[in-house]
Structure 1
Amino acid sequence: MAGASDNDGRPPGGESPDDLPDLPEEWGVIVIPDDLSELADEVEAVRAELRTGPPLTRWQLFVRRPAIRRTRRFGSLLMRTPALIVSVAVLVTIASLFASAWPGPARQPATQRTSGTTESRVGRLPALDLIGADGQSASILGSLPAVLLLTDGCDCARLLDDTVAAAAPGVTVLVITTRGLSASPSTTTSSLSASPPVSAGVLPTLPTAHAGGKTVTFLQDRTDTLRHQLDLSDPDGTAAAILVDKTGEIVRIHPRTASIETIRPDLARL
């Protein structure tokens, strides 16, 4: 066993080997034995100090087993997952409450269609070619601004006369039915009152009439395409009136029209 050097482990001259700092003086003389078994007494003393606590019970020994520790970790994970789900659900509910209470843009009330409903729509008149009383194809967009009267099943002679009288010069009145031509001979006149009446949806033989600078054109829509595209209900004894400005935009749709007073305010807008 090596002993302490005559110079407290320092080389001659008093300098520390390898420029290492000196050991604290309170540690005293440190002796490193050549055989580590000589430190057995010190090892037992340290172990005795570590065993100074109370002995573990059987339950403590049981829960410290590796399998039990893994089971405990899995159980705690199962407990945290529902808590996480509940927390997310609470946050989503709170966010929904804030979103519903947050003031948004005002919504326009939906228009419920009834038998007497007047509908204001933003849209263009469909580009349809219908059949004139002369058998030729005619575009409904070629006579704008216009009032379109769908007269199937309607005795609309009075409504037609009043509409022509109330319309401003330059506004065309288009009378549209699904029926064919009447059997009466063709009539040519410069007065609208001399034209055959519009009754029961029959298309008169007079293709176009002019009165006071106003034009009335009779057209046939054999498949009732215009009514379907505008989502109008089936005929019920009244006329459907569509008012269109000169750009083709629909100003107003009156699904049920029996009197000029229904459409008079909108005529002034054409």
Structure 2
Amino acid sequence: MSMSDADGPGPTEGLSGLPPEWGRVVVPDDASALAEEAARVRRELRRRAGPGGRWRRLAEARRPDGRPSLRLPLLVLLVALLTTLAGLFAVTWPRSPRPGDQSTVLPRSTPTDLTGRPLPALELVDAGNATVSLRGLLPAMIVLVDACPCADHVTEAAALAPPGVTVVTVADTRAPRATPGPSGAVVRPLADPGGGLRAFLRLLPHPGTATALLVDRTGVLLRVVPELRSAEDYRTDLARLGS
């Protein structure tokens, strides 16, 4: 069906339902004549449906009273707020330490500045759970046996101790019962549950070894032997304690 452009029927004759303001409508016999117009309409539809079309509609949206809509500013503000919160969450989230980040709290080597320093006024406990002042046993050779009983080293130290010098063994939890030492030497087994002596020395216990301290009668530390190996490590200083 077609309508002439000049002499045919009126604008809407033969096409019911079309509004008069559309004017004269011409329907060509060949649909290919509308190809250019159809392509232009498709481009316009793609432009409006593209990634930016939704944002443009938000930006151009208006409220019923004609004022600009606040939807786009509120959306931008919400995105900025979520981004900030995500950054704060990533910074403050606790992380498990990596193996390379772990550090040793107490070094195994003995600081050289301990020699000549006074022994702290520590109170240890004996086998009967009675409190014993460590400074009340001076002069003394103190052997830490929390990592090794090292009975041979204790026996050797007690045999070499001059008269009046006490050999003290210090365990970590419970002191064993006292046993007679050779040649009448005094051996006092004590315990240091709080670890105060280790904290003063800044020494970690090393399995299979004992640590020794030689303290004179005034409470001054003469020597620290981090790992007892033989009597030659302390023989001279032990002799000085009895003078």
What TM-score does the superposition give when structure 2 sets the normalisation length? Answer: 0.51
Q: Which residue of 2 aligns with 1:151?
A: 145
CA RMSD of aligned residues (A): 2.3
Match status 1:205 vs 2:180? no
In structure 1, what residue type is equivalent to 2:145? T
Aligned mates of 2:165, 2:138 — CA distance in 1: 7
- Post-superposition Cα deviations, 1:51-93, rounded to whole Å, max 9, x if no partner, equal xxxxxxxxxxxxxxxxxxxxxxxxxxxxxxxxxxxxxxxxxxx
In structure 1, what residue type is equivalent to 2:157? T
Q: Size of the alignment, in residue pairs?
A: 135
Q: Map of 1:23-102 to 2, 5 A cutoff? A: none
Q: Map of 1:111-190 to 2, 5 A cutoff? A: 121-180=115-174
Q: Which residue of 1 aligns with 2:224?
A: 253
Residue 124 of structure 1, CA deviation: 0.5
Aligned equivalent of 2:185, options 210, 214, 225:
214
- What SS class does the counterpart of residue 118 from structure 2 fall into? coil
**Gap change, CA 1:117 and 1:228, over 3 Å in 2:** closer
Residue 120 of structure 1, CA deviation: 6.1
**Conserved 8 A contact 2:155-2:181:** no
Aligned mates of 1:170, 1:243 — CA distance in 2: 14
Aligned mates of 1:231, 1:154 — CA distance in 2: 18
Residue 178 of structure 1, CA deviation: 0.5
- What SS class does the counterpart of residue 123 from structure 1 fall into? coil
Residue 155 of structure 1, CA deviation: 3.6
**Conserved 8 A contact 2:144-2:210:** yes
**Conserved 8 A contact 1:151-1:177:** yes
Could you tell me which runs of 5 or more consecutive residues in structure 1 were left unpaired when the two chains were aligned. 1-112, 181-202
**Conserved 8 A contact 1:233-1:255:** no
Q: Which residue of 2 aligns with 1:224?
A: 195
Match status 1:240 vs 2:211? yes
**Conserved 8 A contact 1:118-1:254:** no
Residue 121 of structure 1, CA deviation: 1.1
**Conserved 8 A contact 1:154-1:237:** yes
Q: Which residue of 1 aligns with 2:89?
A: none
- What SS class does the counterpart of residue 125 from structure 2 fall into? strand
**Conserved 8 A contact 2:145-2:211:** yes
- What SS class does the counterpart of residue 265 from structure 1 fall into? helix
Residue 205 of structure 1, CA deviation: 2.1
